[in-house]
Amino acid sequence: MNQRRLECFLAVVDELHFGRAARRMGMTQPSLSAQIRALEEEMGVVLLERSSRRVEVTQAGRALADGARSVLVEMDRVFATTRDVAAGRTGRLTIGSVGAGFNGILAPVLRRLQVELPNLQVTLRQDSSSLHQVQAIADRTIDVGILRTARPHSAVTTELLYKESFIVYLPSGHPLARSEQPLKLAQLANERFVTWPRELGPEFHDSITRYCLAAGFSPTGPATGYTTEAQLSLVAAGLGISFQAASNANLQRAGVVAMPLGEDDMVTELFVAYPATRPTPATTAFLRLAKEAVKVGRFGTPPHDGQWPAAMSDRVPSRASRP
């Protein structure tokens, strides 16, 4: 049903005069009459009784008028919502991320996104698998992903957000926990390690192993933790020490101390991935704000020559963090 025809019909119902209704609609009287005739033909009923002196609304016309007003209000609402979604002012944004994203860049970026797009509904999904995230973006089940590495996919664009150093979680009574300088990787050669299961993040796991092998040792130990919190529990119990990306430095636990590693000893990368074609306006806004956060030096080392340390403030702890 044509919205303009309904508006013309309601104008005649309100004015009970074709001339006044035409002026109200900003059109000629013949054009208005044509719209009413087309509406009556479409519905197959007589809506208005016309004479040279008066216009009367039929019973069918009154029934249509009662419903048409609410229909037009709802149509206006739907059209406004559609325009808002197209502009990114409302709608949904689903983000997948590794734990370091939750403990690092996501909180401040989402805070700014909320200011720009206060009606946007945001959903966060934790996923340590880059392969899963890339496929979810290709399938359009998530809009954007924060991940460690990603294999090429024709439907997904991946960009480096920043590089960051590592920290080491030690039992609070550990001799190195009192060091006033960043630790060197070689100092940890004789330690036992609490490790990540390789299946959660093969690239992240293998990167840590390569750095350690280059320093002359293999990071092995008696315990494995499937979340950062599980690993910190094992560290507090004295079963080993744990490597974590610097984004997780805000996570604290009794009996555990976080010590920085030398900036050149071990480095990891954080990427952002999104659809290669037709990303939503909300996705585009998120990408812009994330890149701005990196450029002003809040997180890690950006993908250019500028250098700055990873920020340790303005972060929100995660209860089930993974790498």
Please give the DSSP secondary-structure letter assigned to residue 61.
H
Please say whether the beta carbons of 16 and 49 come within 8 A: no
SS3 119: strand
**In the prediction, which pLDDT does 175 show?**
94
Kindly state the tokens that stand for 114. 């909320």
Please give the CATH architecture assigned to the domain spanning 3-87.
Orthogonal Bundle (1.10)
Rounded mean pLDDT, 199-214:
88
1: exposed, middle or buried (C-beta count within 10 Å: 0-12, 13-18, 19+)? exposed
Task: Note if the pTM is more than 0.85.
Answer: no
The pLDDT value recorded for residue 287 is 95
DSSP one-letter string for 146-190: EES----BTTEEEEEEEEEEEEEEEETT-GGGG-SSPBPGGGGTT
Is 212 a residue whose pLDDT tops 90?
A: yes
Q: In DSSP terms, which residues pair with 97 in a beta bridge? A: 126, 146
Residue 190's pLDDT is 94
pLDDT of residue 174: 95
Residue 156 contacts residue 276 (beta carbons within 8 Å): yes
Residue 158: count of CB within 10 angstroms of its CB? 21
What proportion of the chain, given as a percentage, has pLDDT over 70?
90
Return the structure tokens found at 2.
């044509």
Evaluate if residue 162 carries a pLDDT over 70.
yes
Report the pLDDT value the prediction gives residue 303, as an integer from 0 to 100.
54
- Provide the pLDDT for residue 270: 92
Q: Is the pLDDT of residue 283 over 60?
A: yes
**Residue 300: pLDDT band by 50, 70, 90 thresholds?**
low
pLDDT band at 201 (very low <50, low <70, confident <90, very high): confident
Note the pLDDT of residue 312.
29
Name the phi and psi angles at 251, rounded to 5.
-75, 130
Question: What average pLDDT does range 245-250 have in this prediction?
Answer: 88
Banded model confidence at residue 88, pLDDT cuts 50, 70, 90: low
How far is residue 47's CA from residue 41's CA, in Å, rounded to a whole number?
Answer: 10
Structure confidence at residue 127 as a pLDDT band (50, 70, 90): confident
Q: Which residue type, as a one-letter code, is found at position 282?
A: A
What mean pLDDT is reported for the chain? 86
Residue 194, CA distances (Å) to 90, 215, 238 in order: 43, 18, 10
- CATH code of 91-323, in short, is 3.40.190.290
**CA triplet 177, 178, 183: central angle to 5 degrees?**
65
pLDDT at 202: 82
Reported as a pLDDT band with limits 50, 70 and 90, residue 306 is: very low
Domain ranges of the chain: 3-87, 91-323
Q: Are 25 and 32 in contact (CB under 8 A)?
A: yes
What are the φ and ψ backbone dihedral angles of 156, each rounded to 5 degrees? -130, 135
The span from the CA of 127 to the CA of 201, in Å, is: 9
Cα–Cα distance for residue pair 282/181, rounded to 1 Å: 42
Residue 308 has pLDDT above 70, yes or no: no
